Amino acid sequence: MSEMVAVVGDLDQVHFNDAGLVPVIAQDVSTRDVLMLAWMDREAIRRTVNEGRVTYFSRSRQEYWRKGDTSGNVQWAKTLKVDCDGDTLLVLVDQTGPACHTGAATCFDEAES
């Protein structure tokens, strides 16, 4: 069982692009670092809210991608916010380990060598 994810805004008002996706900014709820940007479709949003584990939709692999299933660096969603015009989401997460596949803490930092 997951903890409840707080949803701020109306998920029914989210606008998806022609590929059925919406950009999602992940921010660490503790450090307030911006961790990464990825994409969700309606089903990825549903899974994220229901499970508490953040699930994205991979554009390159065209499949669902539950963050951390391969790396162990899972994201627990705490709050999911819809922006003013419904075309971006912000998910505040409890991040386990580094968020970036390079091993860096965020996708906006250089990996430690």
Residues at the contact surface with its own copies, assessed by CB under 8 A: 8-9, 23, 25, 27, 32, 34, 36-37, 81-85, 88, 90, 100-102, 104, 107-108, 110-111
Q: 1 vs 112, which CB is nearer to its own copies?
A: 112
Minimum distance from CB of 102 to its own copies (Å)? 5
Minimum distance from CB of 36 to its own copies (Å)? 7
Q: How far apart are CA 84 and CA 87, in angstroms?
A: 8
Minimum distance from CB of 88 to its own copies (Å)? 4
SS3 state of residue 46: helix
Q: 74 vs 107, which CB is nearer to its own copies?
A: 107
Side by side, the strands of the sheet bearing 34-40 are 6-8, 75-82, 89-95, 22-28, 34-40
Minimum distance from CB of 1 to its own copies (Å)? 27
| Whether 73 contacts 95, CB under 8 Å | yes
Q: 4 vs 111, which CB is nearer to its own copies?
A: 111
Residues in contact with 14: Cβ distance below 8 Å, sequence separation at least 6, in sequence order: 22, 42, 45, 82, 86, 87, 89
